[in-house]
Amino acid sequence: MDLSREAVLGPSARNSDHPSRENILKAAIRLMAQRGIQSTTIRDISQESDTNVASVNYHFGSKEYLVREVMFTVVTPVYSRRIELLKHAIESSSPQAPGLHSVLDALIRPLVEAGRDSDGGRTIIRLLSHARSTPDDPINPWLAEQFDNSVHHRFIDALVSAVPTMDRSEIIWRYELVRGATMHVLNDLDPRSKRLLTMTRSDAPIDDNAAVLERIIDFSINGFVH
């Protein structure tokens, strides 16, 4: 699986090291993570990056290609880390099948440890939540084509090996439930929403990645085996 900038973005990856292009991209990531993809305009981004609209269009061609660049920049490190951890789990257990815990750790850990905005919110969780709340957004099929399909099938194959007594279709269901639960919890841990803090009325481990990861993996393992 080639997650290089040129392979995923094609011609729109040109001049990727230009300073003004980098400023525009950083501004777009900040605004789209906070306000949503569709609610963020090119004019908003140009003002935030202290550039003009023509400069945004010159470097990215259109908002659609800018959104792709935003998603590529934020999503690629997480998906690459998932592949790396899954590969390690498979190789370290060979010739036996990888354990369920190690496969789920490879799936969940990169999201929990993902880069954060200045206020502590996980950028990828915010962006993916905005995208998925708008099913007709053209970024969704693009994400599926470039990232989701191949990565998900790798994990499903590993889970089939880890839980050989379970039917593949059932594993797919439980895999999706694990992914959904992870996204939901990380959304509720977002410091802007504070939903989990409000519900528990206690000090939920918002900044403790290890504690959050342990809780999600324990829950996910129980969901798989019971």
Average pLDDT over residues 185-202: 82
Query: Are 117 and 123 a contacting pair, CB within 8 Å?
Result: yes
pLDDT band, very low/low/confident/very high, at 16 (cuts 50, 70, 90):
low
- Is a pLDDT exceeding 80 seen at residue 33? yes
* pLDDT at 125 (0 to 100): 96
- Is a pLDDT exceeding 60 seen at residue 13? no
Domain ranges of the chain: 5-225
- Is a pLDDT exceeding 60 seen at residue 1? no
The whole-angstrom separation of Cα 117 and Cα 193 is 14
Q: What is the homologous superfamily of the domain 5-225 according to CATH?
A: Tetracycline Repressor, domain 2 (1.10.357.10)
Query: Are 141 and 134 a contacting pair, CB within 8 Å?
Result: no
* pLDDT at 225 (0 to 100): 85
